[in-house]
């Protein structure tokens, strides 16, 4: 198992200092740009990100009404709105109910950090840097060329050692006890900056890291909330590129298929309604709206006269009509009652007439060609066919 602590070297968060601890407390220190972290920390199982406390705003706030979300944010920040240099909507807000501490940070800054590490399959903890010494009253930790300051009310600050003296002079004596704070530093730093201070502990950053990991409230202080993403699932399940592509395609199909089905059904319903309206308008040009189609069609067709249905026996005539399929046949009239078919012909050749007669006789019919006259291009007139329905 590897636990990594990330500290930032500048307030622009461009470069980081990474302290990685393997089992057996073996320490490895490295420096990386923020955009390199996801690839450099792939073997880490726990990542603790220490955001410079000076990037936050802090305020003691007792949430007596139990508000949550945007209401809590608005109520808390309204008390310090005149001191904010950013619009409230551009801030990411946090509230720790145990510490009764409200805090906020620029949303783009916070999202930059989250986005750089959200894809890693590791436990991620994000806390303000002064939480290294938070909970010990007023305290200052000196490290390298910088300091971290924690106040008794759980807020904090930090910066370069060059500004420490001037910063302490600006602090109200009622909020920070300049002679009674707890100093954490190695002997050399303590002697240089606070030579006469009595309340001090000689320690280093590595020791602070291990103490923080043992703290019972570390998870409750965490500002990070995992956002489910495909990149994280890919890392969590250790999927290959091919497996990722297959899963992505499957998910896409599952998501799109219902939309396509719904679209097709909506189109079909719309088309059905349009066709139905057209039918109703043909029955009644003044028709305006569908309410109960069955009742409305019954009402529109109530006065339409009924016609006698054609007997199935009369369909015998269709066979003879098919026989008369020729360009010389101009029109055909069927008399179902007398079982006869009258065809008007023009330019019918005697050979075709003979063929018609043979075909019709083969179907148990008779031909009366007495109504035909001979013209220059063939026969013309009326040809009558008598057929038997039995």
Is residue 198 located within the same domain as residue 288?
no
> Could you give the angle at which helices 293-301 and 241-283 cross, rounded to 10 degrees?
30
pLDDT exceeds cutoff 80 at 167: yes
Q: Are 232 and 46 in contact (CB under 8 A)?
A: no
What is the predicted pLDDT for the residue at 230? 46
Provide the domain limits for residue 286.
255-301
Alpha-carbon distance 325 to 331, whole Å?
11
On whether both 128 and 269 belong to a single domain, the answer is no
Average pLDDT over residues 68-79: 92
Report the SS3 class of residue 379. Answer: strand
Q: Are residues 72 and 180 in the same domain?
A: yes
In sequence order, what DSSP letters do the residues of 175-187 get, joined into one string? Answer: T--TTS-EEEE-H
From the CB of residue 23, how many other CB atoms can be counted at a distance below 10 Å?
8
Dist. CA 161–CA 143, nearest whole Å:
9
pLDDT at 91 over 90: yes
93 forms beta bridges with 104
Band of pLDDT at residue 355, cut at 50, 70 and 90? confident
- Residue 243 placed within a domain: no
- For the cut 80, the answer to whether the pLDDT of residue 152 exceeds it is yes
Both 30 and 89 in one domain: the answer is: yes
pLDDT (average), residues 111-131: 90
Q: How far apart are CA 318 and CA 310, in angstroms?
A: 12
Give a yes or no: residue 40 inside a domain.
yes
Sign, CA torsion 209/214/216/219: positive
Mean pLDDT, range 89-104, rounded to an integer: 94
Whether residue 245 lies inside any domain: the answer is: no
In a domain, 237, yes or no: no
Evaluate whether residue 246 is within a structural domain. Answer: no
- Residue with the bigger pLDDT between 118 and 64: it is 64
- My answer on whether 317 and 268 are in the same domain is no
Average pLDDT for the chain: 83
Residue 112's CB: how many other CB atoms inside 10 A? 14
Q: Give the pLDDT mean for 91-95.
A: 95
Count of alpha carbons within 13 Å of 202, Cβ hemisphere only? 6
List, for residues 212-261, the tens digit of each pLDDT value. Answer: 999 988 999 999 987 655 455 554 555 556 665 776 677 778 778 787 88
Percent of the chain topping pLDDT 70: 82
Sheet holding 46-51, edge to edge: 26-33, 15-22, 2-8, 46-51, 123-128
Using the predicted structure, report yes or no on whether residue 102 has a pLDDT greater than 60: yes
* φ/ψ (deg, to 5) at 384: -110, 135
pLDDT band at 270 (very low <50, low <70, confident <90, very high): confident
131 and 175, same domain (yes or no): yes
Query: Where would I find the H helices in 90-184?
Result: 107-117, 164-170
For the question of whether the overall pTM of this predicted structure is more than 0.85, the answer is no
Q: Give mean pLDDT, residues 294-319.
A: 60
Assess whether 289 and 353 both reside in one domain: no
Least confident of 8-12, 75-79, 291-295, 324-328: 291-295
Q: Which has more pLDDT, 279 or 32?
A: 32
Do 101 and 124 belong together in one domain? yes
- On whether both 277 and 198 belong to a single domain, the answer is no
For 13-29, what is each residue's pLDDT tens digit? 999 999 999 876 678 89
Is 239 part of any domain? no
H-helix segments, the chain: 37-40, 69-77, 107-117, 164-170, 187-193, 205-213, 218-221, 230-237, 241-283, 293-301, 316-323, 350-362
CA distance 389 to 300: 37
* 235 falls within a domain: no
Q: Which of 184, 210, 228 is the last residue of a domain?
A: 228
| CATH of residue 359 | 3.30.1360.100
In this structure, is the dihedral angle defined by the CA atoms of residues 376, 377, 381 and 382, taken in order, positive or negative?
Answer: positive
pLDDT score for 318 = 66
What pLDDT is stored for residue 293 in this prediction? Answer: 64
d(CA 144, CA 7): 12
111 located within any domain = yes
CB-CB neighbours of 346 under 10 Å: 14
> Tens digits of per-residue pLDDT, 123-138?
999 999 999 999 999 9
Residues 287 and 322 in one domain: no
Please enumerate in sequence order all residues whose Cβ is within 8 A of that of 77, keeping only pairs 6 or more positions apart, or say none.
Answer: 84, 88, 91, 93, 102, 104
What are the backbone dihedrals phi and psi of residue 147, each rounded to the nearest 5 degrees, phi first? -135, 155
Q: Please give the tally of structural domains in the chain.
A: 3
Angle of CA points 14, 15, 19, to nearest 5°: 145
- Among residues 29, 28, 20, the alpha carbon closest in space to that of 1 is found at 20
My answer on whether 129 and 47 are in the same domain is yes
42 and 168 in a single domain? The answer is yes
């Amino acid at each position: 198992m590897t636990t990594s602590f990330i500290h930032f070297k500048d307030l622009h968060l461009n470069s980081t200092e990474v302290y990685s601890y393997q089992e057996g407390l073996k320490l490895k220190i490295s420096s990386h740009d923020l955009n390199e972290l996801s690839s450099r920390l792939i073997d880490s199982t726990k990542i603790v990100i220490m955001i410079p406390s000076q990037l936050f705003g802090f305020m003691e706030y007792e949430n007596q009404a139990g508000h949550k979300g945007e209401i809590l944010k608005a109520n808390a920040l309204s008390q310090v709105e005149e001191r904010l240099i950013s619009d409230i909507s551009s801030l990411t807000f946090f509230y720790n109910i145990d510490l009764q501490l409200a805090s906020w940070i620029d949303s783009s800054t916070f999202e930059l950090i989250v986005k750089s590490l959200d894809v890693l399959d590791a436990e991620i903890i994000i806390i303000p840097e002064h939480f290294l010494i938070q909970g010990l009253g007023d305290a200052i930790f000196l490290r390298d060329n910088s300091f971290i300051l924690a106040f008794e009310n759980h807020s904090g600050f930090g910066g370069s050692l060059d500004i420490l003296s001037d910063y302490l002079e600006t602090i109200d004596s009622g909020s920070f006890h300049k002679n009674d704070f707890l100093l954490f530093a190695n002997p050399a730093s303590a002697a240089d900056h606070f030579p006469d201070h009595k309340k001090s502990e000689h320690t280093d950053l590595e020791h602070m890291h291990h103490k923080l990991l043992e703290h019972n409230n570390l998870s409750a202080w965490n500002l990070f909330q995992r956002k489910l993403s495909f990149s994280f699932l890919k890392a969590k399940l250790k999927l290959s590129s091919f497996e990722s592509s297959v899963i992505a395609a499957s998910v896409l199909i599952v998501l799109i298929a219902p939309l396509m089905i719904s679209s097709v059904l909506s189109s079909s319903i719309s088309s059905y309604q349009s066709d139905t309206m057209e039918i109703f308008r043909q029955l009644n040009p003044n028709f305006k709206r569908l309410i109960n189609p069955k009742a409305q069609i019954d009402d529109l067709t109530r006065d339409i006269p009924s016609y006698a249905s054609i007997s199935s026996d009369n369909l015998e005539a269709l066979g003879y009509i098919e026989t008369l399929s020729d360009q010389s046949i101009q029109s055909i009239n069927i008399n179902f009652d007398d079982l006869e078919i009258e065809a008007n012909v023009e330019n019918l050749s005697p050979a075709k007439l003979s063929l018609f007669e043979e075909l019709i006789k083969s179907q148990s019919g008779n031909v009366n060609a007495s109504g035909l006259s001979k013209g220059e291009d063939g026969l013309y007139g009326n040809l009558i066919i008598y057929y038997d329905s039995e």
